[in-house]
Amino acid sequence: MNARATAAAQPNTGSEPVLKHVHANGLRFAYLEQGSGPLVMFMHGFPDNAWSYRKQLQVFADAGYRAVSPFLRGYAPTEMPADGVFDPIALGQDLEALIAALSDYGQARVVGMDWGGTSTFQALATAPSAIKAAVVMNTAHPITFSSIRRDPDLVRSVFHVYFFQMPGAESAVNIEGLPFVDYLWKLWSPTFNDVEHLRSIKQTLSSPGTMAAALKYYGGLTDAGRAGRLPIVEMHTPTLTIYGSNDPTARYSLKEEPLFKGPHQRIVLPDVGHFPHLEREAEVTGLIMDWFRTHAPD
């Protein structure tokens, strides 16, 4: 963690998120902020960006929280890491450093999905004191990886993990209009349609170097797993896990439960795909709010 990380702006109490910047873990991160009060971090996945949590930022700001949604490492306008490292260890260190930089007390409530969930699982294992309570959505814990790899149906469902590591993948994905982004959203969350948000995602991923960085996350995960650098340890932080029944991560998520030694609840939402906070916006936002009010009161 970079203890010298410093925030760069005053709290935002307006009715719209404000884009700000902060130095953490050796990088200049861009983040959206709304509201003032106890810090809540919202970590996005792929193919997505920090604007994914626009509605949640508003709800939590209205409820008296300082709601923050960073653009992950390499996702413009966040800086590109000079060392080219995009593995889960770095993601967990990013989250830990962001909390240290943005929180007056060195702690935050954290919501993460997909890669944001990976960063949250990592930090829950290696920096638990930084997280008061967590919500992780549609993220495969490392303990489930071996089961997923042995399940042909799931291998097919997560084909992108393998495809993105193939030579030439970026040239196939990073083409005009980014049709692969449209394809993945239709595949993973077919009932959700937000043209403006998809346009925002494509703008992010079209920034120079961003798509290449986003695809490197997959090789970083595979390499870390192969090297045994992904922690499979007990977690004592109050953690709510939310899965969409149609998301591949749900099938073996029960294997995670023995690792949670603190307060824990696992919810599988029927007929929900990869982006629960968008597909069931009010319901999922309410679940998150209730979890934090119950397990991380002010």
Judge whether residue 3 has pLDDT over 70: no
CA–CA dist 160, 166 (Å, integer):
10
Looking at the DSSP bridge assignments, the partners of residue 69 are 32
Per-residue pLDDT band at 195 (split at 50, 70, 90): very high
Beta-carbon contacts of 69 under 8 Å, excluding residues fewer than 6 positions away, are: 17, 31, 32, 33, 41, 42, 43, 44, 50, 51, 52, 53, 56, 57
Judge whether residue 9 has pLDDT over 70: no
HEC per residue, 220-284: HHHHHHHCCCCCCCCECCCEEEEEECCCHHHCCHHHHHHHECCCEEEEEECCCCCCHHHHCHHHH
Give me the residue label for tokens 């071996």.
Answer: 146
Judge whether residue 160 has pLDDT over 80: yes
Beta-carbon contacts of 279 under 8 Å, excluding residues fewer than 6 positions away, are: 189, 191, 192, 244, 272, 273
Per-residue pLDDT of 256-266, as tens digits, reads 999 999 999 99
Residue 144, token pair as written in the block: 């489930």
CA–CA dist 40, 109 (Å, integer):
5
Widest Cα–Cα separation across the chain: 50
Position 13 scores a pLDDT of 53
Judge whether residue 5 has pLDDT over 60: no
Position 12 scores a pLDDT of 55
The answer to whether residues 55 and 32 touch, using CB atoms and an 8 Å cutoff, is no
The answer to whether residues 160 and 274 touch, using CB atoms and an 8 Å cutoff, is no
Per-residue pLDDT of 207-224, as tens digits, reads 999 999 999 999 999 999
Position 150 scores a pLDDT of 96
Position 14 scores a pLDDT of 60
Per-residue pLDDT band at 111 (split at 50, 70, 90): very high
Judge whether residue 291 has pLDDT over 90: yes
The mean pLDDT value of the chain amounts to 94
Q: Give the distance from CA 151 to its chain's centroid.
A: 25
Per-residue pLDDT band at 298 (split at 50, 70, 90): confident
Position 276 scores a pLDDT of 98
Please give the average per-residue pLDDT across 109-137, as a whole number.
Answer: 98
